Chain A
Amino acid sequence: MIPLRQDETPMTEPLTSMTVREALRDAMAEEMKRDETVFLMGEEVAEYNGAYKVSQGLLDAFGSKRVVDTPITEHGFAGLGVGAAFGGLRPIVEFMTFNFSMQAIDQIINSAAKTLYMSGGQMGCPIVFRGPNGAASRVGAQHSQCYASWYAHCPGLKVVSPYSSGDAKALLKAAIRDPNPVIFLENELLYGQTFDDVSDDPEHVLPIGKALVRREGKDVTLTAFSIMVGKALQAADLLAAQGIEAEVIDLRTIRPLDVETIVQSAMKTNRIVSIEESWPFAGIGSEIAALMMEHAFDYLDAPVLRVTGVDVPMPYAANLEHLALPQVENIVEAAKAVCYRS
């Protein structure tokens, strides 16, 4: 179990410990109970109980009308979901992994994200596209990509990527209730991790667009999302042992990004290291670097550094895969560099 700093959001119920996988399932179950128009569709979500067992038990609880196994046709069922959302339903579309969402990206961007604007505000598309994103383990180049910057690039979408079980649940509930298309990026390696921060209150919903300071520090700010939050927290422990107090910001939402929280932190620590497992070019770190130039330039004592995945397709070999992904030591190194410590 990973101990966490408590969220500032008041909770009425005592907090429960559960895996991210269970938290996501509970979020869907609660929202399906609350709203008849919410349904889940995707490959293997029903009878197989989810390729990664996230939808375990939902078919039994809600029946085949509301938990729908699809053929392996992402473009088609993503578009069908968009049409269903136009037609007054609230679909949750699961991609077995976000790598397969590239088959469907036209429907996500051109149909889901742009139609509200193109219709002068008439239409709207309340839909959640969710599934595991980024690298898992030893699955090679076509199954290991992080899509945060791809989707965060596009107006008309919200992009959420939680770390802990409590956030996963409360933010997925927010995504399902949101009247806009939301890209909800999960992480396969986090599914089995347990966090003790889950609220049992079915009305506990976190706002989309708010980051969380998971660890306070005065010397350097580490920004991360999803699985990289864990690595940033580990790096912060190592840095503390060396006398560097790192502040760790869990972005939680990529779009709209909580720029204010990052800027506030930058004004305090004067140093920013951005961490993501995606590629460096035009990544989330690039965006944070640009935003800091615009909003916190006078406060920076060092250039913003990016710790990212290596700029290559993901290799299969264990040693190469390890080298391709950001590791705790890379974060420690970058943090020390911006603190001018060797």
Chain B
Amino acid sequence: MPYSISQEDALKAYREMLLIRRFEERAAQLYGMGLIAGFCHLYIGQEAIVVGIQSLLKPQDTIVTAYRDHGHMLAAGMNPKGVMAELTGRIDGYSKGKGGSMHMFSREKNFFGGHGIVGAQVPIGTGLAFAHKYKEDGGVCITSMGDGASNQGQVYESYNMAALWKLPVVYVIENNHYGMGTSVERSSAGPNYYGRGQGWGIPGEKADGMELLEVVKAAKRAVDHARSGKGPYILELDTYRYRGHSMSDPAKYRPKEEVEQVKQGRDPIERFKAYMIKTLKISEDKIKIIDDEIKTIVAEAIEFSKTSPEPDPSELYTDVLKEGHAV
């Protein structure tokens, strides 16, 4: 790994990646138990992306993504209890149980969702970048999408406007090789997503999304570019999701060996752990302490999500419209 990181930052990154991994594993269990229902898209395998990018962000920066969003929220610093309680549909969830897995938000952490319509988050993120520029707050919007969304027409409408108006937005394409069950090869003529801004003069690059420090290195170029006023940047990160598209997907469209190969050879957490031990000389004991801490945090989140009550029936009618029309 050519990029350097301090022991402290490494432990922090490891901790954040592991939190996402354990959180998602337990969410899958709760789904199996019937405590979580509906759609539930897990982030397992892609952890290095959000953790790497988040490490570069400033407080005024904004984040928006699609429905595979649990990892983004945890990386953004949202409380695992609130996220898990939303998954179980309880009042203490981030959306009072009214949003679910795909629809969570945190104004406090500048996390703008959590959007269930493939590609819809891309103009929204472009609009958040528009607001950054308009307010001159120096912020950058990280707008994430998958390889599937990358073929949506509104993505290209957004690229055009972002380039035209030099908006501070980084389009992060998390290429996990499958848009639901359709592989990149079967969905995309010309699969170099990072190069698709070329017509508008938007720079792009591809990096290994399974390697934390590679993510950080590439994302730094992207974020610096956007923050400096030069306009949008497309960052494609090569990654892999270990689970199906959602909990109801047995993922029969890909061979088991393919999944195993990635798990054995490219797992972002295992790779980073090995790097910490070998290169940074961090003791296994220190790592073990983090493992235990994360287990406790996730267990507490689960307990919280089970004991938090369902929303009161009166909540059915609230939050449809905002009060206070300023006449």
Tell me the smallest distance from the CB of B1 to a CB of chain A, in Å.
35
Residues on the B chain within 8 Å of A192, using CB: none
Distance between Cα atoms of A37 and B107 in the complex (Å): 18
Residues on the B chain within 8 Å of A205, using CB: 327
Q: Is A65 an interface residue (CB 8 A)?
A: yes
Q: Is A313 an interface residue (CB 8 A)?
A: no
Q: Is the CB of A121 within 8 A of B319?
A: yes
Chain B positions 154 through 177: 1 when the CB is less than 8 Å from some CB of chain A, otherwise 0 = 100110110011000000000000
Q: Which of A11-19, A69-77, A228-236 contacts B (4 or more CB under 8 A)?
A: A69-77
Residues of B within 8 A of A (CB): 62, 64, 93-99, 103-107, 112-117, 120, 122-132, 134-135, 141, 153-154, 157-158, 160-161, 164-165, 318-327
**Chain B at the A interface: SS class:** loop
Residues on the A chain within 8 Å of B97, using CB: 120
Distance between Cα atoms of A79 and B105 in the complex (Å): 17
Tell me the smallest distance from the CB of A329 to a CB of chain B, in Å.
39
Q: Is A117 an interface residue (CB 8 A)?
A: yes
Contact among B122, B131, B320 with A117 in the assembled complex (CB-CB below 8 Å): B320
Distance between Cα atoms of A85 and B114 in the complex (Å): 16
Distance between Cα atoms of A106 and B124 in the complex (Å): 12
Q: Is the CB of A73 within 8 A of B157?
A: yes
Q: Is the CB of B157 within 8 A of A71?
A: yes
Known: A122-B107, A180-B321. A83 touches B93 (CB 8 A): no
Q: Is the CB of A88 within 8 A of B135?
A: yes
Q: Which of A171-179, A219-227, A316-324 contacts B (4 or more CB under 8 A)?
A: A171-179
Q: Is the CB of A120 within 8 A of B124?
A: no
Q: Is the CB of A83 within 8 A of B64?
A: yes
Residues of A within 8 A of B (CB): 37, 39, 65, 68, 70-71, 73, 75-89, 106-107, 110-111, 115-124, 155-156, 158, 174, 177-180, 205, 207-208
Q: Is the CB of B322 within 8 A of A207?
A: no
Tell me the smallest distance from the CB of B90 to a CB of chain A, in Å.
11
Distance between Cα atoms of A156 and B317 in the complex (Å): 11
Instruction: List the B residue with the shortest CB-CB distance to A68.
Output: B165
Distance between Cα atoms of A119 and B124 in the complex (Å): 15
Distance between Cα atoms of A80 and B122 in the complex (Å): 8
Contact among A83, A110, A118 with B130 in the assembled complex (CB-CB below 8 Å): A83
Q: Is the CB of A84 within 8 A of B327?
A: no
Contact among B107, B131, B327 with A123 in the assembled complex (CB-CB below 8 Å): B107
Q: Is the CB of B324 within 8 A of A179?
A: yes
Distance between Cα atoms of A106 and B152 in the complex (Å): 13
20 A-B pairs whose Cβ atoms sit less than 8 Å apart in the complex: A65-B134, A73-B160, A77-B123, A80-B127, A87-B128, A87-B130, A89-B134, A110-B116, A110-B117, A110-B120, A115-B103, A117-B320, A118-B114, A120-B96, A120-B97, A121-B96, A123-B105, A123-B113, A177-B326, A178-B325
Tell me the smallest distance from the CB of B268 to a CB of chain A, in Å.
29
Residues on the A chain within 8 Å of B134, using CB: 37, 39, 65, 84, 89
Contact among B95, B124, B128 with A122 in the assembled complex (CB-CB below 8 Å): B95
Q: Is the CB of A120 within 8 A of B131?
A: no
Instruction: List the A residue with the shortest CB-CB distance to B159.
Output: A76
Q: Is the CB of B160 within 8 A of A71?
A: yes
Q: Is the CB of A122 within 8 A of B123?
A: no
Q: Is the CB of A75 within 8 A of B98?
A: no
Residues on the A chain within 8 Å of B320, using CB: 116-117, 155-156
Instruction: List the B residue with the shortest CB-CB distance to A66.
Output: B134
Q: Is the CB of A83 within 8 A of B319?
A: no
Residues on the A chain within 8 Å of B105, using CB: 115, 118-119, 122-123
Known: A120-B95, A120-B99, A174-B327. A83 touches B321 (CB 8 A): no
Known: A116-B321, A156-B320, A208-B325. A76 touches B123 (CB 8 A): yes
Contact among A76, A117, A120 with B154 in the assembled complex (CB-CB below 8 Å): A76
Distance between Cα atoms of A308 and B94 in the complex (Å): 45
Q: Is the CB of A83 within 8 A of B116?
A: no
Tell me the smallest distance from the CB of B94 to a CB of chain A, in Å.
7
Distance between Cα atoms of A289 and B119 in the complex (Å): 39
Residues on the A chain within 8 Å of B126, using CB: 76, 79-80, 83
Given contacts A83-B124, A87-B135, 20 further A-B contacts (CB under 8 A): A39-B134, A65-B134, A77-B123, A79-B122, A80-B123, A80-B127, A86-B112, A86-B128, A89-B131, A89-B134, A89-B135, A107-B124, A111-B115, A116-B320, A117-B98, A118-B103, A122-B106, A177-B325, A177-B327, A208-B325
Distance between Cα atoms of A87 and B117 in the complex (Å): 19
